[in-house]
Amino acid sequence: MYTDTAKIFKIAKIVIIALLVIIVGSQAFYTIGEQEQAVVTTFGKPSCVSEPGLHFKIPFVQKVTMVDTTIKGFAIGYDQATSVSIPDEALMITSDYNFVNVDFFVEYKVNDPITVLYASEKPVEILKNIAQSCIRSTVGNYEVDSVITSGKNEIQAVIRDKIVAKLEENNIGIQLVNITIQDAEPPTEAVMEAFKAVETAKQEKETAINNANKYRNEALPAAEADVDQISKKAEATKQARINEAEGQVARFNAMYEEYIKNPMITKQRMFFETMEEVLPDMKLIINGTEQEIDTILPLDSFTGTTN
């Protein structure tokens, strides 16, 4: 009895050891395929192994994450599974203010497994956002005819160069393989009607601006001429009044000097000059002395003529 029990324990021990060897062995070896790369972390520090074949790692110390390096792709502008258009992605405006639906397909692959795994959370979404930004900025520089017909190859090349430049600035571990225009066509009738309404409003705006500029160009020179004329007239009036005032001052000063010399004679002369201004067309003969005027004779009432 004792011998049978010892044998059972011995067999069980051998089985346990064998299982442990199998488990450790399965954890110690891994295989890399032709289109794969492995990122091995040792205590959290990553390193890359890219050679295909069987490799060894330290069980429970090292961890292996396989990264697929085959060429993959995604669609922009339509659902790849159902081929249904996605208006928010497909609808774009061209340089001649036309709308167009454009579908793209982007091909990419992983070129840096460590960066893909640890540099960003969602590198493929980042690539898609970069591609959409480059697509819209490029399509917006071309007329609708070029986008739909003759300019596709050029547009694809420009977009590709922009995406590559962006990926170099923002290293996410992904390499662009290619981007192609799948389809380009005018949008739906409803969108076209909305576009026509926008174009009409734009033309009305331009017409209103042109009319306003025309009125300004016509009214401004006339107003400037009026201002110039009013300014010159005011300046002339100002100068005339200044001259008149200066003349009156000069006459008053001269008269005052004469008055100082001969007050009585000056008074009489001033009286006669004033009468000439008040009654310019009446001829008078004044008969009298300095102290008293006896008679004032209006000659016109006798002669009937004026000199």
Q: Is the pLDDT of residue 273 over 70?
A: yes
Asked if residue 141 lies in contact with residue 95, where contact means CB atoms within 8 angstroms, the answer is yes
pLDDT at 217: 85
Q: Is the pLDDT of residue 305 over 60?
A: no
pLDDT above 70 coverage of the chain, percent: 78
pLDDT at 281: 65
- Of the candidates 144, 172, 187, which is a domain's last residue? 187
Q: Are residues 204 and 127 in the same domain?
A: no
What's the mean pLDDT when you consider all of the chain? 80
Confidence of residue 137 (pLDDT cuts 50, 70, 90): very high
pLDDT in tens, 236-266: 888 888 888 888 888 778 777 777 777 777 7
Q: Is the pLDDT of residue 294 over 60?
A: no
pTM greater than 0.75: no
Where does residue 255 rank: exposed (0-12), middle (13-18), buried (19+ CB within 10 A)? middle
Q: Are residues 169 and 256 in the same domain?
A: no
**Adjacent-strand bridge partners of 91:** 101
Q: Are residues 179 and 99 in the same domain?
A: yes
Q: Are residues 240 and 289 in the same domain?
A: no
Average pLDDT over residues 221-236: 85
Confidence of residue 12 (pLDDT cuts 50, 70, 90): low
Count of helices and strands (H, E) across the chain: 9, 11
Q: Are residues 194 and 182 in the same domain?
A: no
Q: What are phi and psi of 103, to 5 degrees?
A: -110, 140
Q: Are residues 88 and 159 in the same domain?
A: yes
Q: Is the pLDDT of residue 134 over 90?
A: yes
CATH number at 79 reads 3.30.479.30
pLDDT at 233: 87
Q: Which of 72-86, 98-112, 157-171, 270-284 has the lowest mean pLDDT?
A: 270-284
pLDDT in tens, 19-48: 655 555 556 777 888 888 888 888 878 887
CA of residue 8 relative to chain centroid, distance: 85
**Adjacent-strand bridge partners of 102:** 184
- Domain of residue 30 covers 2-67
Structural domain count, the chain: 4
DSSP-derived 3-state class of residue 163? helix
DSSP-derived 3-state class of residue 29? strand
Q: Are residues 141 and 79 in the same domain?
A: yes
